[in-house]
């Protein structure tokens, strides 16, 4: 087993690298990848840069070049569901691209021919995360995550995404990582801690809570790694 831990921004993987202490840095395809041995298992850690294109590149590279067999994503997201507050954890049951739109041809939002509106995440990993959560006394909400190349800071847009995709949270990388892993048969797990409510205060909330929420998510991801290694 070779486990990938991916984030989009430096802040999302910093707590993981800090935990690993020693790792090897490899520069490849315009990015840095960190290889480490953790409790006898190989890890590859990287942040992709923000958005669907960069996260597609990084996820593909981790699978095709580094040969990872499990993908864990750790990061922050904007909440849609009013149940989700800053710092809360959400694990994706399935993911969709909210900005993919060829509805002019009669297709639903998020759909292109030979694709699907949603990509389902790995059920076993979700069950493992529930076991981890109950062991450490944390709540992890399972829900739908919508992804697009936009920082959403607008109540109207957020509500539209919520309604159209039945989504509980939104971010900018999850669905693209899901598409890659699904196509290449790699089980994946997308975890996010809420940094903002995707409303008019989102950018302020994001700046204030990025670090603590990214830490919250990373800490849980390392618990997932421990469980997977067990
Ligand atoms: N402040 C950063 C930009 C952050 S973009 C800079 O200036 O460089 C937001 C990042 O956090 C993305 O990686 C996305 O996945 C996640 N995210 C958190 N809240 C979001 C929101 N309201 N809308 C979209 N993405 C959000």
Q: What is the CATH number of the domain that holds 200?
A: 3.40.50.1580
Alpha-carbon gap, residue 23 to 88, rounded angstroms: 30
Tokens of 195: 């940094």
Residue nearest to atom 20 of ligand 1 (CA): 78
Alpha-carbon gap, residue 7 to 15, rounded angstroms: 11
Tokens of 197: 């409510």
- Pairing label, strands 70-79, 169-171: antiparallel
| 171 annotated active-site | no
Radius of gyration of the chain (CA): 16
pLDDT score at 21: 83
Taking the alpha carbons at both ends of the chain, their separation in whole angstroms is 12
- Which residue in the list 12, 122, 171, 216 is annotated as catalytic? 12
Q: Is the pLDDT of residue 118 over 90?
A: yes
Q: 198 burial class (0-12, 13-18, 19+ CB within 10 angstroms)? A: buried
Total tally of structural domains belonging to the chain: 1
Residue span of the structural domain in which 52 resides:
2-229
DSSP count for the chain of H helices, then E strands: 6, 10
Q: Is the pLDDT of residue 230 over 90?
A: no
Q: Is the pLDDT of residue 129 over 90?
A: yes
| 35 annotated active-site | no
């Amino acid at each position: 087993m070779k486990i990938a831990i991916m984030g989009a921004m430096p802040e999302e993987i910093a707590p993981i690298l800090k935990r690993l202490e020693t790792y090897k840095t490899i520069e490849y395809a315009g990015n840095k990848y960190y290889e480490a041995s953790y409790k006898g298992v190989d890890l590859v850690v990287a942040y992709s840069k923000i958005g669907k294109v960069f996260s597609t590149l990084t996820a593909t590279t981790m699978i095709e070049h580094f040969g990872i067999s499990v993908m864990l994503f750790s990061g922050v997201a904007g909440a849609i569901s009013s149940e989700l507050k800053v710092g809360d954890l959400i694990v994706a049951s399935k993911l969709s691209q909210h900005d993919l739109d060829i509805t002019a041809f009669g297709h639903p939002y998020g759909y292109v021919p030979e694709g699907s509106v949603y990509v389902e995440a790995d059920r076993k990993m979700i069950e493992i995360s529930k076991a981890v959560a109950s062991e450490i006394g944390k709540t992890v909400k399972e829900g739908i995550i919508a992804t697009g190349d936009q920082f959403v800071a607008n109540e109207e847009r957020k509500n539209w995404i919520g309604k159209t995709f039945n989504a509980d949270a939104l971010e900018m990388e999850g669905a693209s990582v899901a598409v890659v892993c699904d196509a290449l048969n790699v089980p994946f797990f997308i975890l996010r801690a809420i940094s903002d409510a995707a409303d008019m205060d989102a950018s302020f909330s994001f700046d204030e809570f990025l670090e603590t929420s990214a830490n919250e998510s990373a800490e849980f991801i390392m618990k997932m790694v421990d469980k997977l290694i067990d």
